[in-house]
Structure 1
Amino acid sequence: MAIYDTFKTRTAQALPKLNEAEIKRIERFGDRVCFRDGERLFEAGMTSFGMYVVLKGVIRISRHDGLGNTSVITEHEAGEFAGEISQLSGAPTLVNGHAVGDVEVLALSTESLRALLIAEAELGERIVRAFILRRVEQIENKDGGLVLVAPPGHGRTHALQGWLNSNGLPHRVLDPVGDEQARALCAHYAPKPEDWPLAVCPNGDVKKNPSVVDLGRCLGTLPELSSDAVWDVIVVGAGPAGLATAVYAASEGLSVLVLETRAYGGQAAASARIENYLGFPTGISGGALAGRAFVQSQKFGVKMAIPAPAGRLLCDTYPLQVEMCGSLTLLRGRTVVLSCGARYRRPSLANLKQFESKGVYYWASPLEAGLCGSDEVILVGGGNSAGQAAVYLSSHAAKVHMLIRKDSLAATMSSYLIDRIAATPNIELHTQSEIVALEGSDEDGLQQVRVRHHPSGAETDYDICRVFLFIGADPNTGWLSDCGVQVDDKGFILTGFDVPGVAGPRAGLETSIPGVFAIGDVRANSTKRVAAAVGEGAAVVAQIHAFLARQR
């Protein structure tokens, strides 16, 4: 095996070698296929497969992007296997594979690969770990996957990068002035100001100012969904609660479809470090936790659609129906689990939208932290997510001004975070304060922020270009009006004994509509903690089984 400039530190895990006995156990899941020297086994952006186990010869793996750039990653020899995370979901691969010499392989389909992972636990663990590390390598190297072309600092580019990063999708950004290939692309397509950015898909398709739906289609995160299929469970929302439901339900043999508006992990994925989640004594980032849960869901055969916001829930027929926004497709499910969480709350500032992704952000990922440089930033919010973000940003920004409306953090934040904020010298807490004005331009983005201290009425202008808003969220339940799911006076969904005046039995997490369940932050009286959301996501599966048994 030839290893080039990658996998040097974790070679044994990223590029494991199977022995004869292990290959023998895999044989019942695949078919023997032969390829001639130079023949292409799979093509980036085009080919979907499960896994190839090399029996004879060599498969050369190369990065490839839609601009035609290719570079060798590694070569799989006899006893090694080709594949990465894309193969678990049936999405097109992001790399090329060519035969070096005459090659014989065991070819596994996506379905056969999943069956192998379940039936052979020890082998499955090694294969999945290798797939994860190979995706990490693709993300870190940035020589393959999607290519974005736009002027530096373009706000729309930042928004698309945020979506790509949140979903673990390899990509890179090229400057149309400084990069020769980007200049040639722009000369051919002649983009107008409203056409930025250009996106080059792995298969070579070029899209002007694409939406995240366009990117989802070209990268395989948004598969075609049929109205003919009837799912045992349709989960709306892929936060911790929804992912837990998907994993437990699919592992117990139920067919599961998950619809997610933005990215798996929900708001929890924006947490820089969760330190009170059971089993992680040193803490874990929300993104890492969500990423592991996502891979688990793919292993068990969950169908994930991102971005796929639900537009309407129709309950006057059975199976129940979910209509996606912007689509006439009606998706049918025997049960529907609402884990649709909440929408980010926005302060009442007249020009706020003008600066979103141009200085105003609703999460603090490495992408946003990298923009801080050595500048001062403002963070608004007093909950745990705000505290985690403030501590994280303090290691990137010169200073973090933390604004809260109350006179202390005691009522809204865990004590360990309060202590950490107090001990961080470059975090300054401003109590009883709020932003009252934003100044800047479309071209330069946010330039100045005005803050009012309410007890004194004093207003202070800060020359600050980055503001992070963590001021909570409102329940995402407006789309449920056609179904009549009962909510409380704040819009949170009522379940179990909290549902008034409904005849017949109701499981603890079932809503006023039979077969419709609510879990996580969107449920009235839920505990707003990741562990509680995961617990509800697991608990609802038993109630789904009971409902389906009654239907049968």
Structure 2
Amino acid sequence: MSTTPTLSSLNADTETYPLLTKALIDQLRQYATLRRVESGEVLYRSGDLAVPLYILLSATVEIVQPDTEGERAITILYPGMFTGETRIIGGQRAIVLARVVQSGDILTVRSEDIWTLATRNAQLSEILLRAFILRRTMLNIRQLGNVVMVGSQHSANTARLREFLGRNSHPYTYLDLDTDDGSQDLLDRFTISSAEIPIVICNGKAILRNPTPRELADCLGLNDDLRQNLLRDLIIVGGGPAGLATAVYAASEGLAPLLIESHAPGGQAGASSRIENYLGFPTGISGQELASNAATQARKFGTTIAVARKIVQLNCKRRPYELVMDDGSVLFAKTVVIATGACYKKPAVPDLARLEGHGIHYGATYIEAQMCVGEDVVVVGGGNSAGQAAVFLSQTASKVYMLVRSKDLTKTMSRYLIERINANPSIELLCETELTRLAGDESLSEVCWANKKTSQTFTLPSRHVFVMAGASPNTVWLQGCVALDDKGFILTGHNLPLCVPRGSSPVWPLTRAPQLLESSLPGVFAIGDVRAGSVKRVASAVGEGAIAVSLVHRVLAELY
């Protein structure tokens, strides 16, 4: 018979599955109801919505992951432990199955009461959230999610979906047709052709053939809590550091914001392998970890986050403002914070668009790094993102060639990154150099560049180029509604009266002066990289998010 583990000194295991003291359990009782459960009873299954938090008093529960072969064991929870991981916050769907293996008593905290518990009891909130985050990390590492993907390392769509799941911290099992013997057997079982890859199996039931990120998000229930018939105090467009910071501060102050993200939380920063100059993280933190923790924190306070959904139009002729999504549905908001950031500029090189996803990349994550093992790769750009990518890729690639248009990196990159690049024998820095040609039939096979000063050219056989240069604001959907500068960035605050010519762009309509970060539309704010004159740093984006919330409160006060 299994014995109940005892609490040792604090470590990853005891923080992942902590034993609650009697005093802490007593504090939980005011939020919970007592019930008896019997052996064999299923508390919840993968795909169940709004799953409660269960605290085990005398029962024992096993956590398993059903798959196409049966079940995979995850852990056993003993009396004094509790169920759940990050998906429990905000009432999202469960991704595992919990089953009673020893009858006994449990406490049940309803999904809608978990938020109240987390905000009112700091000690319990810390224990629960730390455990939830560590459990989610463990599920990702062990590939114990409710998703099975069959794809190919040579498929652009496979890489796109893997990146989407990874950026959203959703655990999944991946089978590669080129390397995994069992992958073809799985396709044969479901009568699926290899031409239809990537194949995604959700919750062991739904089968998606080469789905879009939005179709996959819907299958997994990532946007179940998106309600469209509400008038909201605040809608945040964009889920990078600026948008996430706005969500955390707004929700913690009771505004219940909605955040709409077109891909996954984190923005460009979310694809950074390691951010080492962000305050409070002396050893650095990956962009994905920072974004995932921020999203969990925002949900903890009551933010609704929708991913793989895009705002395509702002109807700004009347208030409340109407935001049109890519499926035609409309959201209503009293105030809007725009944090859509900027994307990398695409070099004017023939065949670039044709080879996107077939050797041309705009982010360097673990997935891309594994594609580059032992190969020569090219990074285009001289900013921090490009530098972080070059250092990260040098761990797996044979050689990283870094193409930079300027004569050096001193004006565009942090000093610590410059020193790291100069000291890395696997990175060759080529300043005053431009990408000139790309070649390849179905995928990239050859890269050419030229030195602007000497006109000397070089050709490299390579299957991977990472484009991380320049910044193009994501503001096409705002043209005609808010004042933009000549590069498309949003003008705000004191810049509006000086830079907006009457008759050619929207002008400030009120007698009061626009607030700091406020666009030419009252109550519509711009923060982070999308704002004209912003400092392109994670810390400044987070700061602007915090400031924006105080300004939102002022606008809301004007409306009442």
TM-score normalised to structure 2 length: 0.93
1:377: which partner in 2? 377
1:435: which partner in 2? 435
Instruction: Give the share of equivalent positions with the same residue, in percent.
Output: 40
Cα distance in 1 for partners of 2:240, 2:185 equals 40
Kindly provide the amino acid, as one letter, of the partner of residue 231 in structure 1: R
1:82: which partner in 2? 83
Aligned with 1:446 (options 444, 447, 453):
444
Establish whether residue 473 from structure 1 lines up as the match of residue 471 from structure 2. Answer: yes
Kindly provide the amino acid, as one letter, of the partner of residue 418 in structure 1: I
- How many Å apart are 1:73 and its aligned residue? 1.3
Secondary structure of 1:235's counterpart equals strand
Establish whether residue 344 from structure 1 lines up as the match of residue 344 from structure 2. Answer: yes
Cα distance in 1 for partners of 2:347, 2:423 equals 29
- Closer/same/farther in 2, CA of residues 252 and 9 from structure 1, 3 Å limit: closer
1:2, 1:75 within 8 Å by CA — same for their partners in 2? no
Kindly provide the amino acid, as one letter, of the partner of residue 451 in structure 1: W
Establish whether residue 497 from structure 1 lines up as the match of residue 485 from structure 2. Answer: no
Q: Which runs of 5+ in 1 are unaligned?
A: none
- How many Å apart are 1:412 and its aligned residue? 1.6
- How many Å apart are 1:196 and its aligned residue? 1.5
Establish whether residue 546 from structure 1 lines up as the match of residue 554 from structure 2. Answer: yes
- How many Å apart are 1:176 and its aligned residue? 4.5
Cα distance in 1 for partners of 2:307, 2:456 equals 45
Q: CA offsets, 1:271-326, max 9 Å, x none?
A: 2222222222232222222222111111111100001111111122322111111x
- How many Å apart are 1:460 and its aligned residue? 1.7
Cα distance in 2 for partners of 1:320, 1:274 equals 36
- How many Å apart are 1:381 and its aligned residue? 0.4
1:96: which partner in 2? 97
Please say which of residues 235-244 and 420-429 is displaced more in the overlay: 420-429
1:272: which partner in 2? 273
1:45, 1:203 within 8 Å by CA — same for their partners in 2? no
- How many Å apart are 1:182 and its aligned residue? 4.4
Please say which of residues 134-143 and 412-421 is displaced more in the overlay: 412-421
2:225, 2:304 within 8 Å by CA — same for their partners in 1? no
Establish whether residue 24 from structure 1 lines up as the match of residue 31 from structure 2. Answer: no
* Counterparts of residues 357-436 of structure 1 (less than 5 Å): 357-436=357-436
Kindly provide the amino acid, as one letter, of the partner of residue 300 in structure 1: F
- How many Å apart are 1:509 and its aligned residue? 1.2
Cα distance in 2 for partners of 1:479, 1:260 equals 14
Cα distance in 2 for partners of 1:208, 1:298 equals 31
- How many Å apart are 1:116 and its aligned residue? 0.7
- Closer/same/farther in 2, CA of residues 144 and 532 from structure 1, 3 Å limit: closer
Cα distance in 2 for partners of 1:264, 1:495 equals 24
- How many Å apart are 1:507 and its aligned residue? 1.1
2:289: which partner in 1? 288
Compute the RMSD of aligned alpha carbons: 2.0
Kindly provide the amino acid, as one letter, of the partner of residue 486 in structure 1: A
1:439, 1:446 within 8 Å by CA — same for their partners in 2? yes
Establish whether residue 486 from structure 1 lines up as the match of residue 483 from structure 2. Answer: yes
Kindly provide the amino acid, as one letter, of the partner of residue 57 in structure 1: A
1:49, 1:108 within 8 Å by CA — same for their partners in 2? no
Secondary structure of 2:62's counterpart equals strand
- Closer/same/farther in 2, CA of residues 3 and 384 from structure 1, 3 Å limit: farther
Establish whether residue 131 from structure 1 lines up as the match of residue 129 from structure 2. Answer: no
- Closer/same/farther in 2, CA of residues 176 and 386 from structure 1, 3 Å limit: closer
Cα distance in 1 for partners of 2:511, 2:33 equals 52
Secondary structure of 2:27's counterpart equals helix
Cα distance in 1 for partners of 2:313, 2:225 equals 18
Cα distance in 2 for partners of 1:435, 1:2 equals 63
Q: CA offsets, 1:417-456, max 9 Å, x none?
A: 22221111221111222222222232xx221111222233
- Closer/same/farther in 2, CA of residues 180 and 402 from structure 1, 3 Å limit: closer
Kindly provide the amino acid, as one letter, of the partner of residue 52 in structure 1: Y
* Counterparts of residues 14-413 of structure 1 (less than 5 Å): 14-65=16-67, 67=68, 69-176=70-177, 178-180=180-182, 182-186=184-188, 188-191=190-193, 193=195, 195-223=196-224, 225-325=226-326, 327-413=327-413
1:3, 1:74 within 8 Å by CA — same for their partners in 2? no
- How many Å apart are 1:2 and its aligned residue? 7.0
- Closer/same/farther in 2, CA of residues 475 and 71 from structure 1, 3 Å limit: same
- How many Å apart are 1:342 and its aligned residue? 1.3
Kindly provide the amino acid, as one letter, of the partner of residue 494 in structure 2: F
- How many Å apart are 1:57 and its aligned residue? 1.4
Secondary structure of 1:273's counterpart equals coil
Kindly provide the amino acid, as one letter, of the partner of residue 437 in structure 1: R
Q: Which runs of 5+ in 2 are unaligned?
A: 498-506
User: Which stretches of structure 1, 4 residues or more, deviate above 6 A after TM superposition?
Assistant: 1-4
2:529: which partner in 1? 521
- Closer/same/farther in 2, CA of residues 2 and 220 from structure 1, 3 Å limit: farther
Cα distance in 1 for partners of 2:188, 2:470 equals 41
Aligned with 1:507 (options 502, 508, 515):
515
Secondary structure of 2:494's counterpart equals helix
- Closer/same/farther in 2, CA of residues 187 and 348 from structure 1, 3 Å limit: farther
Cα distance in 2 for partners of 1:514, 1:229 equals 21
Please say which of residues 395-404 and 298-307 is displaced more in the overlay: 395-404
1:64, 1:143 within 8 Å by CA — same for their partners in 2? no
TM-score normalised to structure 1 length: 0.94
Kindly provide the amino acid, as one letter, of the partner of residue 29 in structure 2: E
Cα distance in 1 for partners of 2:240, 2:17 equals 31
Secondary structure of 2:107's counterpart equals strand
Kindly provide the amino acid, as one letter, of the partner of residue 339 in structure 1: A
Cα distance in 2 for partners of 1:186, 1:550 equals 63
2:545: which partner in 1? 537
Q: CA offsets, 1:176-211, max 9 Å, x none?
A: 474446424345333362x22111012510011100
Cα distance in 2 for partners of 1:311, 1:390 equals 33
Secondary structure of 2:43's counterpart equals strand
2:14: which partner in 1? 12
- How many Å apart are 1:69 and its aligned residue? 3.6
Cα distance in 2 for partners of 1:269, 1:2 equals 42
Cα distance in 1 for partners of 2:162, 2:181 equals 19
- Closer/same/farther in 2, CA of residues 539 and 51 from structure 1, 3 Å limit: same
Kindly provide the amino acid, as one letter, of the partner of residue 122 in structure 2: A
Cα distance in 2 for partners of 1:334, 1:293 equals 24
Cα distance in 2 for partners of 1:509, 1:116 equals 34
Please say which of residues 259-268 and 499-508 is displaced more in the overlay: 499-508
1:46, 1:203 within 8 Å by CA — same for their partners in 2? no
Cα distance in 2 for partners of 1:12, 1:184 equals 37
Please say which of residues 17-26 and 121-130 is displaced more in the overlay: 17-26
Q: CA offsets, 1:60-96, max 9 Å, x none?
A: 110223x254112112122110000110132111110
Cα distance in 2 for partners of 1:83, 1:461 equals 53
